[in-house]
Amino acid sequence: MATVKLWTDSDANQSPRVKAVFDDIRAVRGSDFINNFSRGLANDPATLERTWNSLKEVMIAPSALDPVTKELIYIAVSVSNGCGYCIHSHTAAARAKGMTEAQYGDLLAVVGMASSTNRIVTALGIPIDPEFEVVS
């Protein structure tokens, strides 16, 4: 159970700020579906607006990385942060955007590999090689 009320469409219709975001989500995504995260965020319209605007800018607007790659990174972070909801929603999004099962297998292999070496490096207190100290 959530710590806040999940807003129904009728609830949203009572708040012009929330309704405007829900309408924009539906228009941008071309779907009537509003997920539970947005329905929970609706309790704080300022955070709902800021989050949705950032998501549009970062995840939806065309940029240097293609949509599937951005979803793979999103999943990798969500796994590392242990957010079950986020893992489920972005794994579904990645598949909807074209992620293949072979790519998904690769993602998990890299996440597992990195998680393992990250901790061993940290345990050993390995100093950064001068060769890596370069900027673009």
Where in 5-24 is the site for a second copy (CB under 8 A)? Answer: 5-6
The two three-digit tokens of residue 64, written as one number: 């240097």
The one segment of 11-19, 20-28, 30-38 that binds a second copy by CB under 8 A = 30-38
CA–CA distance, 136 with 122 (Å, rounded to integer): 25
Q: How many other C-beta atoms lie within 10 A of the C-beta of residue 21?
A: 21
Cβ nearer to a second copy, comparing 16 with 101 = 101
Residue from 13, 83, 97, 98 in contact with a second copy (CB under 8 A): 83
The two three-digit tokens of residue 30, written as one number: 């071309």
Let me know how long the chain is.
Answer: 136
Residue from 13, 26, 97, 116 in contact with a second copy (CB under 8 A): 116
Residue from 25, 26, 36, 97 in contact with a second copy (CB under 8 A): 36
- Return the DSSP state at 51: H
Residue from 10, 16, 32, 125 in contact with a second copy (CB under 8 A): 125
What is the distance, to the nearest Å, from the Cα of residue 57 to the centroid of all Cα atoms in its chain? 13
Residue 101: CA atoms inside 13 Å, Cβ hemisphere, count? 0
85 part of the interface to a second copy, by CB under 8 A: yes
Question: Binders of a second copy among 88-107, rule CB under 8 A?
Answer: 88-92, 95, 100-107
